[in-house]
């Protein structure tokens, strides 16, 4: 099958029931999308499907066919969220952060000027065991230009 | 090679003195045995552990500093970077003394080699007890200062000027009067010819330009934000196989009968075989390994397994604490004569703590290859020396033959510091079966990780306290029941935070004992270890005592700290009270709770603002004061306190692993609830100025939050807390 990842058509001839997460990581060599829980509870594997945030551990390869898949590798180096993340020294262990950024990017696409409540609502599905939540929130607000 | 000494001084560093000597003659078919000058047993042991290891080749500036032709100053980090930001603090210590340009400083992980990279206090290479900065302070200052001196001497020779007329700033060596200057790169070849000074002059802290400033920031924020950081889970090597293992469902369970025929037929599965810890499925990719494992048919032998439930064990622990079982207590602190000290009216309280999983975001994993007696590991190693020994035993080789490339960890919170190296040995066993040096990546699912044990051990504390007419303790009896995390010596870790507490110091009679039951559930190291339980017990008890004496909790503590002369705690307490507005009114329905605790040499006080709204416990603000000695990286100190509060708060609110007939019930984040963004309080960190040797920051932020919340609840509702988690 063909999967459109970060604007490129990629061939995948494995099990169509393989979760997209493992297709990306093991077969397309895109390891920025992380494995955390496997049951859509932690958000570490968040990607965009047609611009919406989705948990790639719980989407099958066959289901992602025909959709525009964007991973952290498809986020521009100068993206305002990446800049804000570094400015605020958000990451600690860093393992959840690509998922956090993909979730935050989807939020800003939908709500360019999010309130604190918007951020809590959008981001509370993404776990950070290091507890960087307040820095994530500050970085999102900084990137969005809201106080 | 000539004999060189790098930065020896206050702390003798045999690590840095590179001498060849005969340790054990010719082992391993004549392999060159490289040992190191031994001034103590640790150095001899470290040398022996490194037999067979590749020569660490310290380079001209010693084993911790590399400077290249492009001008990069690379600081070699012998500790695990698991998020705690150690690399930034270590790099800052070197850069400060070297007067390097911070923008040109980077870091890399050290190879596993105890002879060169052991922690000078622990005697092994490993990361724990929040010790990286404290354990490196003298060594890295001296290394940085020695390198700086070499550049200054090189410039002095080149320019024919006196040494003390030459300065260094931001990686540039200069002479003001003659307006001459040269970069480290310009002087690199000349500096390499200078003999490193034995006792380089260290800076006066008042001259620090980097340490203690906001310039010191993480060096890995970029790679950890854009997805390019390489974790163990991301390792891909030519020919690499992926393994999953079916483990017994019970702790202490063993493999009974099993049928692997269906698993073998799963496309992508390469091999299925028995190993010591279960049945391994080896496949071409992760998903095939998972499907292969799902297809296994196994019956486990639970004859010797732990089959009791959490409530049974907790009831048993309470009986043990009362001395009603055959588990006897062993004294860890006694003072004065018990005689009639506990007669009359006593304050009594007891506390129950559940098992807790570390649950880092990256489930445990490891990459190993075994080729004859050579073992190569690529993973987020936390205690390299212990892992080398355990893996050498598994692969029947020497610890020095176990090469480790240490990667950053997607969290650990102690899980990767497991003293049996459980998952690492499992990976080596699989790689050994596969053989031929073919790399194998062992992948644990979240469920594998959370049901694997090495939990913060279940515990019970029972206190009986006699007070004087001012309400201050005069006699303190304390019984702790907890498994031993370290399988030898006294069961010391659970006593941390109780032993030598000021609250015991103020009493004239102390009778403190630990009871150590033996269970098949493996206990482990959980961020701050015994402190996360003892802080809850001590700080909540003290609030209850203050309340009983009708005294303000801050004033009550101040009286005790004054009486025992604990000036550090007094300063931290005063700062937190000032910054939190202790005693000032709060809006209706909110209350403050205070706690203060010393953990691994660092004192942290926290004031939490808490409310119960519609049955939900809310914590909106936590004000923290910290004394960690000289604050090297204030931004990362704040980050660790913020993270410690979230980690400790999530555990206090929701954390528990419940055993049902021995089987862990919470095996993923749906059942094992952790703190999420909408529950994360605003955390403010205030640092007490200090000129003392720095102490750690990775763990000390965790312990005070549970009692701070319990004390706020006490203030709100009048009800004490006797068990965690708060929310059931």
Rounded to an integer, what distance in angstroms lies between the CA atom of residue A30 and that of residue B125?
33
Put simply, the chain A residues between 105 and 134 with a CB less than 8 A from any chain B CB are 119-121, 123-134
3-state DSSP assignment of residue B238: coil
- Considering only the beta carbons, identify the residue of B85, B287, B680 that sits closest to A133: B680
Token pair for residue B28? 């391993």
E strand or H helix at B299:
strand B297-301
Enumerate the CATH 3.30.365.10 domain ranges in chain B, comma separated: 14-207, 459-717
Q: Confidence class of residue B40 from pLDDT cuts 50, 70 and 90?
A: very low
From the CA of A13, how many Å to the nearest CA of chain B?
13
- Between A42, A95, A124, which is nearest B669 by CB? A42
List the single residue in B85, B226, B636 with the smallest CB-CB distance to A82.
Answer: B226
Mean pLDDT of the B50-76 span: 86
From residue B251, alpha-carbon distances to B422, B450, B665 in Å are: 13, 13, 13
**Residue A28 sits at the chain B interface (C-beta within 8 Å):** no
Lowest mean pLDDT among B51-65, B67-81, B134-148, B577-591: B51-65
Please indicate whether residue B7 or residue B662 has the higher confidence score (pLDDT). Answer: B662
Residues of A in contact with B407 (CB under 8 A): none
For residue A31, list chain B residues with Cβ-Cβ distance below 8 A: 227, 230, 233-234, 236
- Among A35, A72, A125, whose Cβ lies nearest the Cβ of B226? A72
In eight-state DSSP terms, residue B54 is P
B437 is written with which tokens? 């040096």
Residue B607: partners with Cβ closer than 8 Å, 6 or more residues away: B576, B577, B580, B582, B592, B593, B594, B622, B623, B708
- Render B555-622 in DSSP notation, one character per residue: HHHHHHHHHHT-HHHHHHHHHHHHHHTTTS---TTEEEEEEEEEETTEEEEEEEEEEEETTEEEEEEE
Give contacts of B647 with chain A, Cβ < 8 Å: 129-131
Q: Which CATH class is domain B14-207?
A: alpha beta
- Interchain CB distance below 8 Å, A93 and B83: yes
| DSSP-derived secondary structure for B406-437 | E---S--TTGGG-TT-HHHHHHHHHHHHH-TT
> Does position B284 have pLDDT exceeding 70, yes or no?
yes
From the list A36, A92, A133, the residue facing B83 with the nearest CB is A92
pLDDT at B56: 59
What is the distance between the alpha carbons of residues B682 and B620, in angstroms, rounded to a whole number?
6
Residue B306 has pLDDT above 90, yes or no: yes
CB pairs under 8 A between A and B: 181
Residues 48-87 of A with CB under 8 A from B: 71-73, 75, 77, 82, 85-86
Give chain A positions within 8 Å (CB) of B267.
15
pLDDT at B51 over 90: no
* A22 and B CB contact within 8 Å: yes
Residue among A37, A42, A91 whose CB faces B225 most closely: A91
Whether the per-residue pLDDT at A53 is higher than 80: the answer is: yes
- Facing residue for A86 by CB, picked from B221, B360, B645: B221
Bridging pattern class, strands B73-77 and B105-109: parallel
- The mean per-residue pLDDT over the stretch B548-554 comes to 98
The beta-carbon neighbor of B225 closest among A82, A126, A134 is A82
A75: nearest CA partner in chain B: B226
* Cβ-count burial B458-478 (b if 16+ within 10 Å, e if not): bbbbbbbbbbeeebbbbbbbb
d(CA B273, CA B676) in angstroms, rounded, equals 40
A37 interface with B at CB cutoff 8 Å: yes
| Contact (CB, 8 A) for B639 and A91 | no
Domain boundaries, chain A: 2-74, 80-144
CA distance B647 to chain A (A): 6
DSSP H helical ranges for chain A: 20-22, 61-64, 80-87, 97-110, 116-123, 133-144
Given pLDDT bands bounded at 50, 70 and 90, which one contains residue B11? Answer: very low
Chain B CB contacts of A86 below 8 Å: 221-222, 225
As a whole number of angstroms, the distance between CA B285 and CA A59 comes to: 18
Q: Which of B89, B103, B225 to mutate: most A Cβ within 10 Å? A: B225
- Chain A positions touching B84 (Cβ under 8 A) are 92
| Alpha-carbon distance values, B406 to B223, B230, B384, B722 (Å) | 17, 11, 8, 41
For A22, A90, B94, B413, B690, the CA distances from B84, given in Å and listed in that order, are: 29, 12, 18, 10, 21
Rg (CA), chain B: 27
Model confidence, pTM: 0.94
Cβ count near B53 (within 10 Å): 23
Task: Please check the confidence at residue B216 and state whether its pLDDT lies above 80.
Answer: yes
When the pLDDT of each residue in chain B is averaged and rounded to a whole number, the result is 93
A14 touches chain B (CB under 8 A): yes
Looking at domain B234-301+373-443, its CATH architecture is: Alpha-Beta Complex (3.90)
Which has more pLDDT, A106 or B122?
A106
Query: What phi and psi, each to the nearest 5 degrees, are found at residue B502?
Result: -60, -25
Residue of A nearest to B80 (CA): A93
B180-183 sheet: strands from edge to edge: B167-169, B172-175, B180-183
Q: Quote the tokens at residue B62.
A: 């010693």
Per the CB < 8 Å rule, is B361 touching A133?
no
Flag whether pLDDT at B3 surpasses 80: no
CA distances to A49, B362, B424, B439 from A35, in Å:
17, 7, 19, 20
- Rounded to whole angstroms, the Cα distance separating B377 from B53 reads 13
Using a CB-CB cut-off of 8 Å, the residues of chain B touching A140 are: none
Q: What pLDDT, on the 0 to 100 scale, is given for residue B44?
A: 62
Instruction: Please name the residue that has the structure tokens 């070849």.
Output: B189
Q: Indicate if the pLDDT at residue A98 is higher than 70.
A: yes
Q: B459-717: which CATH number, 3.30.365.10, 3.30.470.20, 3.50.50.60, 3.30.565.10?
A: 3.30.365.10
Nearest chain B Cα distance for residue A147, angstroms: 15
User: What whole-number distance in Å separates Cα of residue B556 and Cα of residue B541?
Assistant: 12
Cβ of B446 within 8 Å of Cβ of A38? The answer is yes
Split at pLDDT 50, 70, 90, the class of A147 is confident
Probe site for chain B from A33, A46, A94, A123 (most B CB atoms < 10 A): A94
Distance CA B642, CA B622 (A): 9
Which of chain B's residues have a Cβ under 8 Å away from the Cβ of A44?
361
The mean pLDDT value for B694-721 works out to 97
Which value does ipTM take for this structure? Answer: 0.98
Q: Rounded distance, CA A45 to CA B510, Å?
A: 52
pLDDT at B54 (0 to 100): 60
**pLDDT for residue B120:** 87
Instruction: Using CA coordinates, name the residue in chain A closest to B445.
Output: A37
Picking from B410, B684, B83, the residue whose alpha carbon sits closest to that of residue A134 is: B684
Least confident of A104-108, B31-35, B364-368: B31-35
Q: What is the mean pLDDT of residues B118-125?
A: 91
**pLDDT at position B239:** 98
The answer to whether A2-74 and A80-144 have equal CATH topology is no
pLDDT, mean of residues A72-87:
98
- Mean pLDDT of the B445-465 span: 98
Distance CA B196, CA B149 (A): 8
- Provide, as residue numbers in chain B, all residues whose Cβ is less than 8 Å from the Cβ of A138: none
In sequence order, what DSSP letters do the residues of B16-44 get, joined into one string? Answer: G------SSSSBTTTB-------SSHHHH
B22: region left, alpha or beta (phi > 0 left; psi from -120 to 50 alpha): beta
Chain segment A125-145, per-residue pLDDT in tens: 999 999 999 999 999 999 999
> Which residues from chain A sit within 8 angstroms of residue B231, using beta carbons?
34, 95
Question: Over pLDDT 90: what percentage of chain B?
Answer: 90
pLDDT over threshold 60, residue B55: no
B622 chain-A contacts, CB cut-off 8 A: none
What pLDDT was estimated at residue A87?
A: 98
Closest Cβ–Cβ partner in A91, A98, A125 for B221: A91
In angstroms, the separation between the Cα of residue B295 and the nearest Cα of chain A is 16
Average pLDDT on B616-637 reads: 97
For residue B477, the distance in angstroms to the closest alpha carbon of chain A comes to: 36
Which of B214, B361, B702 has the most A C-beta neighbours within 10 Å, making it the best mutation to test the interface with A?
A: B361
Q: Residue B107, CB half-sphere, CA atoms under 13 Å: how many?
A: 28
**CB–CB of B721/B714 below 8 Å?**
yes
Under CATH, domain A80-144 is a member of which superfamily? [2Fe-2S]-binding domain (1.10.150.120)
d(CA B638, nearest CA chain A) in Å = 11
Question: A2-74, what's its fold?
Answer: Ubiquitin-like (UB roll) (3.10.20)
Contact A132 B642 (CB under 8 A): yes
Among B218, B219, B287, which would you mutate to test the A interface (most chain A Cβ atoms within 10 Å of its Cβ)? Answer: B287
Region B29-54: mean pLDDT is 48
Indicate yes or no: CB of A123 within 8 angstroms of CB of B677.
yes
């Amino acid at each position: 099958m063909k999967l459109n990842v970060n604007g490129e058509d990629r061939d995948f001839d494995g099990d169509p029931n393989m979760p997209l997460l493992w297709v990306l990581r093991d077969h397309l060599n895109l390891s920025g999308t992380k494995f955390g829980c496997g049951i859509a509870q932690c958000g570490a594997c968040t990607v965009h499907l047609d611009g919406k945030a989705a948990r790639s551990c719980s989407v099958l390869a066959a289901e992602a066919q025909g959709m525009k898949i964007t991973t952290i590798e498809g986020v521009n180096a100068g993206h305002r969220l990446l800049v804000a993340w570094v400015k605020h020294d958000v990451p600690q262990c860093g393992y959840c952060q690509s998922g956090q950024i993909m979730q935050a990017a989807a939020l800003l696409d939908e709500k360019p000027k999010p309130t604190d409540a918007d951020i809590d609502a959008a981001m509370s599905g993404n776990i950070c065991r290091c507890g960087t939540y307040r820095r994530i929130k500050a970085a999102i607000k900084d990137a969005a230009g809201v106080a | 090679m000539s004999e060189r000494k790098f930065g020896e001084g206050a702390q003798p560093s045999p690590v840095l003195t590179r001498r060849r000597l005969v340790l054990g003659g010719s082992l391993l078919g004549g392999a060159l045995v490289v040992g190191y000058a031994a001034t103590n047993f640790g150095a001899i042991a470290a040398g022996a552990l490194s037999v067979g290891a590749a020569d660490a080749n310290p380079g001209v500036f010693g084993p911790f500093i590399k400077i290249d032709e492009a001008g990069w100053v690379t600081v070699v980090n012998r500790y695990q970077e698991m998020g705690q930001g150690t690399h930034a603090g270590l790099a800052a210590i070197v850069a400060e003394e070297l007067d390097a340009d911070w923008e040109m400083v980077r870091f890399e992980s050290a190879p596993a080699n105890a002879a060169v990279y052991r922690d000078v206090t622990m005697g092994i290479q490993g990361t724990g007890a929040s010790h990286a900065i404290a354990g490196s302070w003298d060594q890295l200052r001296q290394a940085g200062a020695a390198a700086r001196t070499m550049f200054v001497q090189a410039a002095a020779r080149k320019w024919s000027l006196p040494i003390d007329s030459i300065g260094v700033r931001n990686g540039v060596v200069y002479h003001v009067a003659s307006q001459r200057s040269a970069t480290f790169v310009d002087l690199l070849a000349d500096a390499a010819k200078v003999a490193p000074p034995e006792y380089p002059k260290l800076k006066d802290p008042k001259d620090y330009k980097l340490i203690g400033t906001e310039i010191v920031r993480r060096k890995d924020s970029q790679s950890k934000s854009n997805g390019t950081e390489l974790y163990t889970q991301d390792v891909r090597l030519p020919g690499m196989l992926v393994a999953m293992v079916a483990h017994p469902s019970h702790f202490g369970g063993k493999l009974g009968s099993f049928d692997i025929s269906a698993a073998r037929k799963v496309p992508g599965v390469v091999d299925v075989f028995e190993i010591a810890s279960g049945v391994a499925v080896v496949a071409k990719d992760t998903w095939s390994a998972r499907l292969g494992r799902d297809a296994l048919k196994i019956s486990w032998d639970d004859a010797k397994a732990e089959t009791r439930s959490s409530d049974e064990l907790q009831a048993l622990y309470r009986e043990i604490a009362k001395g009603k079982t055959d588990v006897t207590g062993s004294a860890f602190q006694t003072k004065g004569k018990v005689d009639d000290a506990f007669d009359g009216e006593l304050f009594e309280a007891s506390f129950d703590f559940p098992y807790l999983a570390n649950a880092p975001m990256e489930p445990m994993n490891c990459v190993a290859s075994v080729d004859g007696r050579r073992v190569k590991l690529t993973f987020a190693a936390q205690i390299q020396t212990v892992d080398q020994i355990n893996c050498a035993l598994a692969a029947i080789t020497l610890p020095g033959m176990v090469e480790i490339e240490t990667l950053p960890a997607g969290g650990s919170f102690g899980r990767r510091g497991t003293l049996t190296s459980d998952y690492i040995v499992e990976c080596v066993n699989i790689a050994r079966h596969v053989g031929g040096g073919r790399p194998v990546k062992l992948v644990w699912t979240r469920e594998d990780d959370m049901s694997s044990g090495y939990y913060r051990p279940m515990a019970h504390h029972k206190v009986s306290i006699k007070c004087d007419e001012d309400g201050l303790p005069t006699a303190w009896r304390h019984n702790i029941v907890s498994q031993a995390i370290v399988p030898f010596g006294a069961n010391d870790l659970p006593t941390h935070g109780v032993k030598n507490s000021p609250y015991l110091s103020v009493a004239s009679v102390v009778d403190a004992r630990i009871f150590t039951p033996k269970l098949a559930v493996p206990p482990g190291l959980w961020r701050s270890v015994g402190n996360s339980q003892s802080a809850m017990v001590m700080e909540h008890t003290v609030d209850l005592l203050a309340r009983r004496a009708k005294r303000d909790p801050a004033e009550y503590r101040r009286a005790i700290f004054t009486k025992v002369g604990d000036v550090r705690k007094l300063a931290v307490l005063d700062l937190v009270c000032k910054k939190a507005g202790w005693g000032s009114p709060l809006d209706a329905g909110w209350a403050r709770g205070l706690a203060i605790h010393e953990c691994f040499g660092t004192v942290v006080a926290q004031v939490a603002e808490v409310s119960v709204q519609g049955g939900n416990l809310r914590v909106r603000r936590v004000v923290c004061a910290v004394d960690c000695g000289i604050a090297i990286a204030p931004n990362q100190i704040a980050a660790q306190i913020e993270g410690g509060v979230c980690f400790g708060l999530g555990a206090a609110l929701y954390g528990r692993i419940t055993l049902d007939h021995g089987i862990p019930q919470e095996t993923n984040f749906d059942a094992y609830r952790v703190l999420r963004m909408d529950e994360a309080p605003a955390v403010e960190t205030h640092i007490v100025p200090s000129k003392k040797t720095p102490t750690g920051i990775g763990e000390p932020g965790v312990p005070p939050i549970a009692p701070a919340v319990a004390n706020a609840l006490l203030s709100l509702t009048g009800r004490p807390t006797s068990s965690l988690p708060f929310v059931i």
